[in-house]
Amino acid sequence: MIAVDESKQVLDQTSTSSDSDLSRRTLLKTATGVAAGVLGASLVGRTGTAFASRPRAGGFVQIPFYTTEDDPNTQAVHTAAAEAFSGANPGVTIAFNYISNADRDQRILTGLSVGQDLGIFEVGGAYRAEFAQGGYLYPMDSVIKAIGANQIAAGSRMVIGGHDYVFPYGGGLIGQWMRTDVLQRLGVGTPKTFDDVVAVAKGAKKFGMFGIGLPVGTPTAVEYAFPAFLYAQGGDFFDPQGNVVFDSPAALQAIENYAELLQYAPPGNVNWSFPQFIQAYLSTRVAMVGYPGRLGVSVVSKAPQLAPKTTVAFPAFGPQHVAQWRWSYVAIDKRTKHPDIALKFIQYLFTNQAGFGTQYADSVPGQLIPSIKSVRDTWLAKSTSPYMKAHGSWVRSLISGLPYGYDISLGMGAMAGGTLKYTNNPPPPWAGRAFGVSGIDGEMIGRIALNGQSPKAAQQWAVQQLQQIAKDWKSQHPSWRPPT
Amino acid sequence: MSVSTTSGVPAATDAPSAGAPAIQRRRKGISDRTLGILMILPAAVLIITYLAIPLATSVGLSLFQEDTITHASVWVGLGNFTWLAQNSLFWDSLGRSIYWTAGNAIIQIVGGVGVALLLHAELRGRTIARGIMLFPFVIPAVVAALIWNYMLNDLVGVVDYILQSLNIISQPLGAMSTPGKAMNTIILISSWKYMPFMIVMFLSRLQTLPLELSEAARMDGCGPLGVFTRITLPWLMPVIMVALLLRIIWSFNEFDMPFLLTQGGPLNSTMTLPLLIRYLAFDYLDVGKAAAVALVMIGILLALSRLQSALYQRAESRLQ
């Protein structure tokens, strides 16, 4: 016999909570409440540029701007322009986000893929066609029309289906920077032919220097150097219809010339990225380096003793007067909530509507040469920058290459005919695969320099790779047709 | 059996009278089973969201040739796996991954045991050494990679400068720029960075080793080597097995150090499978092939985990 009182106590203990215990129901209610609160807070309170560009309380709009131009002077221009624009457009904020050059395109691609509103973003030249193909870009026709299409540098636009999808905000010639003291000691002037370049590179060895800063293994770096050799021979990678034309004698000559100069290059050039070009020249151990205008700015700021012994000229790598000119682009995310405001700011920042066009060019003179003629002319005529006063000749030398500059990221096949014919066509849509971070030309040069492969065999390998890349891309996009 | 009650309320064990339903007493509230399910639900949601769904997506992607940018896709079935099987880039990357993993594991385990023994011994400066030893581990990988890249730079790096100044070498080492040397260099750098973790694990285990065992062994005539091989090493073995498994999994999966140090170069000589995945997804722009490589990696790691578990069990049972 069990006393009821005892059995009742047992039941009480198991089915009811005492004052000091937390019941299951209370625990679950508390946990659910906390989780709901956290979730609600994260949904309601989300901030940041990832979800910007939408009206907030009171009509506040924030436009994100993703860029790799993080030089302090350029950042200052960004900030000033953003503040002035906000003053002129109450309720609008431009939020600059600085991203790394090394993974810019992956960062942008990831953002686009996950639905992040990127607002205005910098887009790699080699990828712009495919981004447009993917439907990510908002047309920029209104900006081009407002500025005037004839004002934009020839060959710098990208027109697909009658629409402009990117804006070239700045660029520069990859000029040949040289030590004038080395030239003087050798008793030669600025190299005018490839043989002259070889002679200087060879002669620099006598002074304990390396002749020329040419990279080997890292494709990004090789794409800053090799294409100039190809264009100087009248060659190209693809023709306007997207067929591989890299199997030409001109291309083979370019490869052989590059390989010949490599013996005068400094060690460690297999791991070069952009900073190493500048580093090589500033180390005072390399007589010649190819780079845009930033090298001159770096000389003045970091190694001023080199400035009087430095000059820059159009590269002379072959019989054709064509070298490499790179443009930098911005685009607008097609899904951004206020593309009209984004377009307005692009025009505000890069033209002289409020004077920022010339300020932008002045921030790194020679590196961000404006694509807009009127801005360029005004800048050259009226720049008050100490750098331009002291070294304006360097900048003018680089600008003189504007009509003769081409690049893998520009309209496909402009050099395929042996001479430069600018178009506003897009680059090959598969350019990102062929010339991106792991480009074919970089590996090709690496096979010659590191594996001892002959230039001819390396060229054949590169041709096969380029053909396969184009074929794979076309099979994935059967509706693509070459631009007419 | 009947139970008398004082309150007049029938007790649970009252025998029901004929025809009357049994009175059921149900516990109020949520059952243990339901509560358990609810408690693990948040973790389950996270696992499904960050593990199961990506895994299923990867399996699906691996059956297509899909452009990373435009998402244009073509069904290829097992075509991506066939492509891998026939592509030397995959096999070379797999070989490098194995070499990278084995190199890291061996150096970190052997080195870790050695340093742990030193730090366990009654040596002067032991306390300071234990603190300094952790230094590489707390440096962020990006910072470590930058520092080593600068130090080993062939043109302006301090290592070559010192060695050439001392006439130890006449030409730059090419530690990071020579295809044959770059992989060994990054293995050493990675081992320098992550060995402290191993040291801490082994040192913790050593500190639980009963001193009487070592003393008894010495009294029985065992030399230092004998004490190490018969007492210390077996004692450490379960932890070594766990550390080995962890190191193998982490190294096989590791993306940071190879990418930060060499980006897979020079000439793909340091491209391991994780870097190959990145290359296929973001440079070759075919996310289907990248997914196929990822699935192959999962298969390899699962097989390794099973093997390692068996070895661990054996090591534990030997101790007992």
Residue A5 pLDDT > 80, yes or no? no
Predicted confidence (pLDDT) per residue in A293-309, tens digit:
999 999 999 999 999 99
Q: Examine residue B164 and state whether it is found in any structural domain, yes or no.
A: no
Phi, psi of A93 (to 5 degrees): -125, 135
* pLDDT for residue B317: 79
* pLDDT for residue B26: 53
How many domains does the structure of chain B reveal?
2
Query: Based on the number of CB atoms within 10 Å of its own CB, is A170 exposed (0-12), middle (13-18) or buried (19 or more)?
Result: buried
Q: Which of A433, A453, A474 to mutate to test the interface with B (most CBs of B within 10 A)?
A: A433
DSSP notation for B249-305: HHHHH--HHHHHHHTT-STTTT--HHHHHHIIIIIS-BHHHHHHHHHHHHHHHHHHH
pTM: 0.83
Predicted confidence (pLDDT) per residue in A131-180, tens digit:
998 899 999 999 999 999 999 999 999 999 899 999 999 999 999 999 99
SS3 content of chain B, % helix, strand, coil (to 5): 70, 0, 30
Phi, psi of A216 (to 5 degrees): -120, -70
Contacts of B3 in chain A (CB under 8 A): 1-2, 4
Taking residues A200-221, report their average pLDDT. 90
**Domain boundary residue, one of B41, B57, B75:** B75
pLDDT higher at A156 or B311: A156
* pLDDT for residue A484: 73
Q: Report CB contact under 8 Å: B69, A267.
A: no
B171/A210 Cα distance (integer angstroms): 14
One-letter identity of residue A334: K
Q: Which of A34, A118, A476 to mutate to test the interface with B (most CBs of B within 10 A)?
A: A476
Q: Report CB contact under 8 Å: A450, B12.
A: no
Residue B189 pLDDT > 70, yes or no? yes
Contacts of B268 in chain A (CB under 8 A): 443
Superfamily of domain A173-325+403-476: Periplasmic binding protein-like II (3.40.190.10)
State whether B274 and B132 are in the same domain: yes
The alpha carbon of residue A102 and the mean position of all alpha carbons in its chain are separated, in whole angstroms, by 9
The continuous run of DSSP H or E covering A178 comes out as: strand A175-179
* pLDDT for residue B90: 95
Q: Examine residue B67 and state whether it is found in any structural domain, yes or no.
A: yes
Q: Are A232 and A431 in contact (CB under 8 A)?
A: no
A422/A112 Cα distance (integer angstroms): 30
Q: Which residues contact A74 (CB under 8 A, 6 or more apart)?
A: A360, A363, A364, A368
pLDDT higher at A325 or A127: A325
Size of interface A-B (CB pairs under 8 A): 135
Q: Examine residue B161 and state whether it is found in any structural domain, yes or no.
A: no
* Domain residue limits at B43: 32-75
Taking residues B149-178, report their average pLDDT. 92
CA dihedral A280, A281, A285, A288 (to 10 degrees): 110
Contacts of B30 in chain A (CB under 8 A): 24-25, 28
% residues pLDDT > 90 (chain B): 55
Q: Examine residue B3 and state whether it is found in any structural domain, yes or no.
A: no
Longest dimension (CA), chain B: 108
Q: Which residues contact A361 (CB under 8 A, 6 or more apart)?
A: A170, A368, A369, A370, A375, A376, A379, A383
State whether B63 and B100 are in the same domain: no
Buried/exposed code over A326-345 (b: 16+ C-beta within 10 A; e: otherwise): bbbbbbbbbbbbbbebbbbb
Q: Report CB contact under 8 Å: A266, B283.
A: no
% residues pLDDT > 90 (chain A): 71
Q: Report CB contact under 8 Å: B68, A109.
A: yes
Predicted confidence (pLDDT) per residue in A329-373, tens digit:
999 999 999 999 999 999 999 999 999 999 999 999 999 999 999
* pLDDT for residue A270: 86
Judged by a CB distance cut-off of 8 A, whether residue A321 touches chain B is no
State whether B100 and B55 are in the same domain: no
Q: Are A266 and B155 in contact (CB under 8 A)?
A: yes
B105/B244 Cα distance (integer angstroms): 6
A213/A178 Cα distance (integer angstroms): 10
pLDDT higher at A169 or A52: A169
**Domain boundary residue, one of B51, B75, B99:** B75
Q: Which of A302, A450, A461 to mutate to test the interface with B (most CBs of B within 10 A)?
A: A450
Taking residues B182-209, report their average pLDDT. 95
State whether B237 and B207 are in the same domain: yes
Task: Write the residue in B65, B153, B279 that is nearest to A268 by C-beta.
Answer: B153
Taking residues A251-276, report their average pLDDT. 92
| Spans of all domains in chain A | 51-170+327-373, 173-325+403-476
* pLDDT for residue A15: 45
Q: DSSP code of A137? A: B
Buried/exposed code over A351-386 (b: 16+ C-beta within 10 A; e: otherwise): bbbeebbbbbbbbbbbbbbbbbeebbebbbeebebe
- pLDDT band at residue A50, thresholds of 50, 70 and 90? very low
The continuous run of DSSP H or E covering A264 comes out as: none
- Among A36-40, B146-150, B217-221, B264-268, the minimum mean pLDDT is found in A36-40
Judged by a CB distance cut-off of 8 A, whether residue A477 touches chain B is yes
Task: Write the residue in A279, A472, A475 that is nearest to B156 by C-beta.
Answer: A279
Q: Examine residue B57 and state whether it is found in any structural domain, yes or no.
A: yes
Taking residues A20-40, report their average pLDDT. 75
Mean pLDDT, rounded, of chain A: 89
DSSP notation for A322-350: -EEEEEEEEEEBTT-S-HHHHHHHHHHHH
Task: Write the residue in A127, A438, A475 that is nearest to B279 by C-beta.
Answer: A438
Contacts of B267 in chain A (CB under 8 A): 217, 270, 443, 446-447, 450-451
Judged by a CB distance cut-off of 8 A, whether residue A305 touches chain B is no
State whether B273 and B218 are in the same domain: yes
Pairing of strands A175-179, A286-291: antiparallel
Mean pLDDT, rounded, of chain B: 87
Longest dimension (CA), chain A: 121
Predicted confidence (pLDDT) per residue in A410-442, tens digit:
889 999 999 999 988 899 999 888 887 678 999
* pLDDT for residue A63: 96
Read off the CATH number of the domain in which B303 is found: 1.10.3720.10
The continuous run of DSSP H or E covering B169 comes out as: none
Taking residues B19-47, report their average pLDDT. 75
**Domain boundary residue, one of B47, B75, B103:** B75
Taking residues B51-68, report their average pLDDT. 92
Q: Report CB contact under 8 Å: B27, A446.
A: no
pLDDT higher at A128 or A1: A128
Q: Which residues contact A46 (CB under 8 A, 6 or more apart)?
A: none
Contacts of B284 in chain A (CB under 8 A): 433, 438
State whether B248 and B302 are in the same domain: yes
Q: Examine residue B216 and state whether it is found in any structural domain, yes or no.
A: yes
Strand runs labelled E in A375-472: 405-406
State whether B50 and B134 are in the same domain: no
% residues pLDDT > 70 (chain B): 91
Contacts of A135 in chain B (CB under 8 A): 70
3-state secondary structure of A62: strand
Complex ipTM above 0.85?
no
- pLDDT band at residue A49, thresholds of 50, 70 and 90? very low
* pLDDT for residue A44: 64
State whether B42 and B88 are in the same domain: no
Q: Report CB contact under 8 Å: A267, B177.
A: yes
Q: DSSP code of B151? A: H
* pLDDT for residue B162: 95
Predicted confidence (pLDDT) per residue in A234-257, tens digit:
999 999 999 999 999 999 999 999
Q: Examine residue B175 and state whether it is found in any structural domain, yes or no.
A: no
* pLDDT for residue A17: 45
3-state secondary structure of A191: coil
* pLDDT for residue A56: 45
Q: Examine residue B153 and state whether it is found in any structural domain, yes or no.
A: no
**Tally of CB atoms within 10 A around A86:** 15
Q: Which residues contact A82 (CB under 8 A, 6 or more apart)?
A: A65, A93, A94, A95, A96
pLDDT higher at A276 or A196: A196
Contacts of A427 in chain B (CB under 8 A): none
CATH 2.40.30.20 fits A51-170+327-373, yes or no: no
pLDDT higher at B105 or A271: B105
Judged by a CB distance cut-off of 8 A, whether residue A223 touches chain B is no
State whether B43 and B110 are in the same domain: no
State whether B95 and B212 are in the same domain: yes
Contacts of B69 in chain A (CB under 8 A): 109, 127, 130-131, 133-134, 136, 432
* pLDDT for residue A421: 93
A51-170+327-373 and A173-325+403-476, same CATH topology = yes
Terminal Cα distance for chain A, rounded: 101
* pLDDT for residue B197: 94
* pLDDT for residue B27: 55
State whether B69 and B191 are in the same domain: no
State whether B70 and B198 are in the same domain: no
